[in-house]
C-alpha cells in the first residue's frame, strides 16, 4: 500500500510562511491499495487537495474518521467526491453513547456551520459506525479500536498482504498507563500498534508542554518514541504538530528528541506530501 500525508497539523489549520515546510493543513492521510482502492484517514483540511487530485471517475472512496473533533472533520464538506454524482462514498466513524454517527456528522454538516446538509450531498453516501468487527474493504483488513483521547476516538490498523499501517493521530497512551509502567496489555493502543510496519502517531508536545496539558488527549514526542518502541513498530512518524510550532521549532524539537531517546526504530516528523511504500 502507498501512504501519502495530505495534512499533518493538529488542532487548527496553520497556514503561513513559518509552517510551510511541515504543512499547515490538519489531519488527512491517503492510503492506496495494490488494486488502486483508496482509503482516506480523517477529513481535516488536507482532504480538499486530495479530493482535487483524485480521478473524477473514481467509483468508490472510504473515509475512516478517528473521531469528530473539528480538525479531523473540517475538510469533509470540501471533498469533491462528496459532491460528485455516482461516486460511492463510505464514511466510517465513531458514534457516541446516545447519538448515531449520522446525527453527530449532521451537527457540522448543517447550518449555521455549513450551508449544505448531509442528505443534499450528490454522492451515494453510506455511513458505518465503529468500533465494529474487522472491516474488509477490497484487500484491506481494518481494525478500529477505541483509544485514549477525549470523546469517543478510535485508532485504525490497516493491513494489506504483509504490510501494516497503524494510524493514531490523537492519542495519549501515557495517561492511562502511568508512563508505560504497567503491563503492555494495559497500554491504550498497544493492540493496534503491535509490530506495525508504519505507525503514524500523535507527537504534539515537548515534555514540558505535556506537563501543562495532561489529560488533553495528546502525547509528547518522547512518549511517542516510548510507545512505538514498546509496541515494536518498524517505523514511526510524528504527527499532529501543534499549531504554535513553526518549522524551526519542529526541527529543534525533533533533534532534541533524537538525542534524548536515541530510538532503535526509524523516526521522522510528518511533512505534508510525504509518501511511504509499505509492502
Side-chain-side CA neighbours of 242 within 13 Å: the count stands at 19
Taking each helix axis from N to C terminus, what angle separates 221-231 and 247-261, rounded to the nearest 10 degrees? 50
Contact between residue 40 and residue 50 where contact means Cβ atoms under 8 Å apart: yes
170 binds Zn ion (CB under 5 A): yes
CB of 109: closest distance to Zn ion in angstroms? Answer: 18
In angstroms, the CA 264 to CA 30 distance is 27
Q: How far is the CB of 181 from other proteins (least distance, A)?
A: 11
Among other proteins, Zn ion, none, the one that 69 touches (CB under a kind-dependent 5 to 8 A) is Zn ion
Q: Under the phi-then-psi rule, with left for phi > 0, alpha for psi from -120 to 50, and beta for the rest, what region is 15? A: beta
Q: Which stretch binds Zn ion (CB under 5 A): 10-18, 127-135, 231-239, 245-253?
A: 10-18
Residues 50-69 that bind Zn ion (CB under 5 A): 69
CA distance 15 to 246: 10
272 binds Zn ion (CB under 5 A): no
Q: Does 172 bind Zn ion (CB under 5 A)?
A: no
- Name which of 58 and 168 has its Cβ closer to Zn ion: 168
Residue whose entry in the numeric block shows the C-alpha cell 508504519: 198
Q: How far is CA 226 from the centre of its chain?
A: 19
Least distance (Å) from other proteins to the CB of residue 196? 13
Q: 42 is in the binding site of which of other proteins, Zn ion, none (Cβ under 5 to 8 A by kind)?
A: none
Q: Is 113 exposed, middle or buried, given 0-12, 13-18 or 19+ CB atoms closer than 10 A? A: exposed
170 binds, among Zn ion, other proteins, none (CB under 5 to 8 A by kind): Zn ion
53 binds, among other proteins, Zn ion, none (CB under 5 to 8 A by kind): none
Q: Quote the CA–CA distance of 128 and 93 in Å, as a whole number.
A: 7
Residue nearest to Zn ion (CB): 69
Please, which residue, 77 or 189, has the CB nearer to other proteins?
189
Nearer to other proteins by C-beta: 12 or 146? 146
242 lines the binding site for Zn ion (CB under 5 A): no
CB of 72 to Zn ion, least distance (A): 6
Kindly state whether residue 104 participates in binding Zn ion, applying the rule CB under 5 A: no
Interface positions with other proteins (CB under 8 A): 94-97, 129, 131-132, 145-148, 152, 175-178, 182, 184-192, 194
| Distance, C-alpha 31 to centroid of its chain | 11
Contacts of 169 by beta carbon, 8 Å cutoff, 6+ apart: 10, 27, 41, 42, 66, 72, 200, 201, 202, 239, 240
Residues that bind Zn ion (CB under 5 A): 10, 69, 71, 170
Amino acid at each position: 500500500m502507498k501512504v501519502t500525508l495530505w495534512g499533518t497539523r493538529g488542532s487548527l489549520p496553520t497556514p503561513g510562511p513559518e509552517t510551510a515546510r511541515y504543512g499547515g493543513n490538519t489531519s488527512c492521510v491517503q492510503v492506496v491499495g495494490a488494486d488502486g482502492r483508496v482509503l482516506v484517514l480523517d477529513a481535516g483540511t488536507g482532504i480538499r487537495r486530495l479530493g482535487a487530485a483524485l480521478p473524477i471517475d473514481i467509483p468508490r472512496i472510504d473515509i475512516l474518521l478517528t473521531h469528530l473533533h473539528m480538525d479531523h472533520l473540517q475538510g469533509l464538506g470540501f471533498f469533491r467526491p462528496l459532491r460528485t454524482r455516482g461516486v460511492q462514498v463510505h464514511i466510517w466513524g465513531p458514534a457516541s453513547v446516545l447519538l448515531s454517527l449520522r446525527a453527530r456528522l449532521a451537527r457540522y454538516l448543517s447550518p449555521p456551520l455549513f450551508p449544505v446538509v448531509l442528505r443534499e450531498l450528490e454522492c451515494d453516501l453510506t455511513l458505518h459506525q465503529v468500533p465494529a468487527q474487522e472491516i474488509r474493504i477490497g484487500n484491506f483488513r481494518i481494525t478500529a479500536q477505541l483509544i485514549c483521547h477525549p470523546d469517543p476516538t478510535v485508532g485504525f490498523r490497516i493491513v494489506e498482504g504483509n504490510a501494516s499501517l497503524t494510524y493514531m493521530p490523537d492519542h495519549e497512551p501515557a495517561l492511562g498507563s502511568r508512563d508505560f509502567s504497567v503491563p503492555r496489555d494495559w497500554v491504550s493502543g498497544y493492540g493496534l500498534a503491535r509490530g506495525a510496519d508504519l505507525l503514524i502517531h500523535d507527537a504534539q508536545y515537548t515534555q514540558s508542554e505535556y506537563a501543562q496539558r495532561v489529560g488533553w488527549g495528546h502525547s509528547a514526542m518522547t512518549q511517542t518514541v516510548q510507545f512505538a518502541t514498546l509496541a515494536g513498530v518498524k517505523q514511526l512518524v510524528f504527527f499532529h504538530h501543534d499549531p504554535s510550532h513553526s518549522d524551526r521549532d519542529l526541527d529543534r524539537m525533533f533533534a532534541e528528541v533524537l538525542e534524548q531517546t536515541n530510538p532503535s526504530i526509524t523516526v521522522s516528523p510528518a511533512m505534508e506530501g510525504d509518501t511511504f511504500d509499505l509492502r
